[in-house]
Amino acid sequence: MFKSLLFTAIISAVVTTVYGHGYVQEIVSGSAKYTGYLPYQDPYMNPAPQRIVRKIPGNGPVEDLSLIDVQCNGWSQGGVVGSAPAPIFATFAAGSSVSLNWTTWPDSHVGPVITYMARAPSDITKWNPGNSAVWFKVAESGKTSDGKWAASDLLYASNHIYTFRIPPRLQPGQYIIRHEIIALHSAYSYPGAQVYPSCIQVQVTGSGTALPTSFVSFPGAYSGSTPGIVFDVYQNKGAYPIPGPAVWTGGN
């Protein structure tokens, strides 16, 4: 008993001090504020807190982009194929801004911040997209022409808050927001890029009627040959091609 507690303490010390990467700890839109899934606290609480974010195993990355883990950051090591649905969801209006509050992010971990959504065909608290092509990109931020990276330059400049807008004309319904940072400090070859995704469950309200017509899957959207997955951030001072499809704005 003592041994396993000590072991757990050592493991979490290593995880937080040596590999201090990050995850989304809070989601805010207007006056609504939700705590994210906290991988170093929530599993030890009884009763487990109800979150709008699907479980993640920790603050580490996914590097094998062929794994289902690249969808919502886990949970194949927990025996779940794909992500485990969370018990609740947020309600946000189409067109509203959503602010995602990241924990401390290492400044070496430069790269793009990308956000996708997927429309749930049924109850989002039970839906698992698996390998289906259901995802469309709603926001992306890479490297500015003067060399500033979305992570970590722009993230630092905004107190670790990344804000994106739900497409104003998006048809109401239940959606997963898949939000990620791709850290490129080791991305000079594949595998190397580190994907830090998480999935947030929302009910989108409004009177829009727009839906995208082309979709990607996770895994599937990214591989070692996708532009922007292999990129030498130390040597290549040129433009950075953000991985994945074009942003869908819903005609707005």
Ligand X SMILES: *[C@@H]1O[C@H](CO)[C@@H](O)[C@H](O)[C@H]1NC(C)=O
Where along the sequence are the contacts to ligand X (CB under 6 A)?
25-26, 101, 159, 161
User: Which residue lies nearer to ligand X by CB, 8 or 41?
Assistant: 41
Q: Which does 21 bind (CB under 5 to 8 A by kind): ligand X, Cu ion, none?
A: Cu ion
User: Which residue lies nearer to ligand X by CB, 25 or 226?
Assistant: 25
User: Which residue lies nearer to Cu ion by CB, 120 or 193?
Assistant: 193
Stretch that binds Cu ion, among 15-23, 91-99, 152-160, 173-181 (CB under 5 A): 15-23
Shortest Cβ 61–ligand X spacing (Å): 21
User: Which residue lies nearer to Cu ion by CB, 21 or 51?
Assistant: 21
CA 128 to chain centre: 16
DSSP 145: T
CA 19 to chain centre: 18
Strands (E), 83-170: 90-93, 97-102, 113-119, 135-141, 161-165
Cα 71 from Cα 64, distance rounded (Å)? 11
Position closest to ligand X via CB: 101
Give the length of the chain: 252
Residues 6+ apart with CB under 8 A from 245: 136, 137, 214, 216, 221
Shortest Cβ 61–Cu ion spacing (Å): 6
- The answer to whether 21 contacts Cu ion (rule: CB under 5 A) is yes
- Round to the nearest angstrom and report the end-to-end CA distance of the chain: 58
User: Which residue lies nearer to ligand X by CB, 41 or 189?
Assistant: 41
Shortest Cβ 77–Cu ion spacing (Å): 18
Contacts with Cu ion, residue ranges (CB under 5 A): 21
